[in-house]
Amino acid sequence: MRKAILHPFPGGIHPHDEKGLTASLPIEDAPIPPRVFIPLSQHIGAPAEPIVKPGDHVRTGDKIAEARGFVSANIHASVSGIVRAIQPYPHASGRLAPAIEIETSDEDQTFVPTKDRKDALALPSQALIPFIREAGIVGMGGATFPTHVKLSPPEDKPIHSLIINGVECEPYLTADHRLMLERTSEVIEGITYIRYILDASFSYVAIEANKPDAIKRMKELISDPDIHVITLPKRYPQGAEKQLIKTILGEEVPAGGGLPMDVGAVVQNVGTTFAIYEAIRWGKPLIERITTVTGHGVALPKNLRVRIGTPVSDIIAYCGGWREPPGKLILGGPMMGINQYDDRVPITKGTSGILLMPRGEVGDYHPHTCVRCGRCVTVCPMGLLPNFLGVFSEHGRFTDAERLHLLDCIECGSCTYICPAKRPLVQMIRYAKGEVLRRRKKVANK
């Protein structure tokens, strides 16, 4: 057993975590909605291609759209019912995006497994990957990268270390925390499958110190001496892949587009690990996920198991609605989540939380010019210069921003959080990144 020595990453912040709103609340099943709107693009890569048409009857778990290419993901019906339309619908990205609308029927909505692969570890390791691909699993911590791709590193990139990410450093969110507490054995079985696929010698379950009950439970139930539970000090963004690898393995993922596999590591979120367990053991596709509904704006905060495609408005209504005049509705957490302008947007595979902030908490928003305090530089976990990146973005100087390693920004939002001038640094950086990537694509297509 290789003993982990912690190597703290530079920068970082200590926001109020506000997890007390939901940390002690057991996971509940959200009601089955009358209609779901399942986007064809819920992942990084090509949108899936529909294989159903309006009028078709589908059952919970049926495949309704097929992955287009290797970097894509299958989509499944999250309810039984009739396909009513395939058309653009509000999407978490803020745009309209094609979605399959299913009107729920009166029949039983439970997914009934037809398999029990209790001997999955007797199969060749690579035979498990198609089960994950077929189930349409993507990174559920928010990255939404197709998992079968992540678990298929090229031969010249052997993986020695698997890190299971139970850090959940985003304030407010407790979905992964509850999953580790309530479905511990299943998460551990998922870890066993991933280790087997990757042939990784070392496995770590990383959990922040603010979840002592989950740490205790994991330690109690893990019997394999080669799976090590690591307690990490609480610091945002401890759960970001590169920061996690740095802290646990002491390795730096190369700048300029490097990947964890370049340093022999794979990081998998706890929710994804649970989904992998369900896919391999029971053949269950990714049709639901745990989402934390939280914030001081919601009447009844909850940790919910929600069917993919459920409109956020249905979930808010189930949680008693807004308790104060609405301020901000965010999908995800306050640091990396995305503000929403339409509460009809559906839950997708990457929706880790629904955060409702009342108007009084959001306050007036008046950004000022930079006062050159340097705080954003101090907290940036990637060692970047967010102050300059923000100014270059404002003035359309994208090439200058690129020279300052714009694309290495992990969009953690620490710079925006700390800025006394309330400058929307991460938003400006995100915009500049989009412009740089758009221009690169244009050049490549010429």
Within 8 A by CB and 6+ apart from 394, the residues are 428
Give the nearer residue to ligand SF4 in terms of CB position, either 357 or 425: 425
Closest contact distance (angstroms) between CB of 395 and ligand SF4 is: 14
Measured distance CA(40)–CA(45) in Å, rounded = 11
Closest contact distance (angstroms) between CB of 67 and ligand SF4 is: 31
Closest contact distance (angstroms) between CB of 428 and ligand SF4 is: 10
If you ran DSSP here, which 8-state letter would residue 247 be given?
A: H
Closest contact distance (angstroms) between CB of 401 and ligand SF4 is: 11
Give the nearer residue to ligand SF4 in terms of CB position, either 64 or 330: 330
Give the nearer residue to ligand SF4 in terms of CB position, either 347 or 379: 379
Residues that bind ligand SF4 (CB under 6 A): 370-376, 379-382, 384, 386-387, 390, 409-415, 418-421, 423, 425-426, 429
Closest contact distance (angstroms) between CB of 419 and ligand SF4 is: 3
Closest contact distance (angstroms) between CB of 259 and ligand SF4 is: 17
User: H or E stretch including 305?
Assistant: strand 302-307
Closest contact distance (angstroms) between CB of 414 and ligand SF4 is: 4
Closest contact distance (angstroms) between CB of 367 and ligand SF4 is: 9
Measured distance CA(433)–CA(380) in Å, rounded = 17
Q: Is 413 helix (H, G, I), strand (E, B) or coil?
A: coil
Q: List the end-to-end C-alpha distance of the chain, in Å, as a whole number.
A: 52
**Residue 341 CA to chain centroid, in angstroms?**
20
Report the interhelical angle of 184-198 vs 212-221 (nearest 10°): 60
Q: Where do the H-state alpha helices sit in 236-287?
A: 241-249, 270-282
Give the nearer residue to ligand SF4 in terms of CB position, either 47 or 413: 413
Rounded CA Rg of the chain: 21
Give the nearer residue to ligand SF4 in terms of CB position, either 362 or 373: 373
Q: 311: which strand partners? A: 346
Q: What beta strand segments (E) does 9-140 contain?
A: 27-29, 35-39, 49-50, 57-58, 63-66, 75-76, 81-90, 96-104
Q: How is 140-162 classified by DSSP, letter by letter? A: TTTT--BHHHHT---TTS---EE
Measured distance CA(63)–CA(78) in Å, rounded = 10
Q: Where do the H-state alpha helices sit in 319-424?
A: 359-362, 375-379, 386-394, 398-403, 414-418
Give the nearer residue to ligand SF4 in terms of CB position, either 57 or 430: 430
Give the nearer residue to ligand SF4 in terms of CB position, either 179 or 412: 412
Give the nearer residue to ligand SF4 in terms of CB position, either 47 or 237: 237
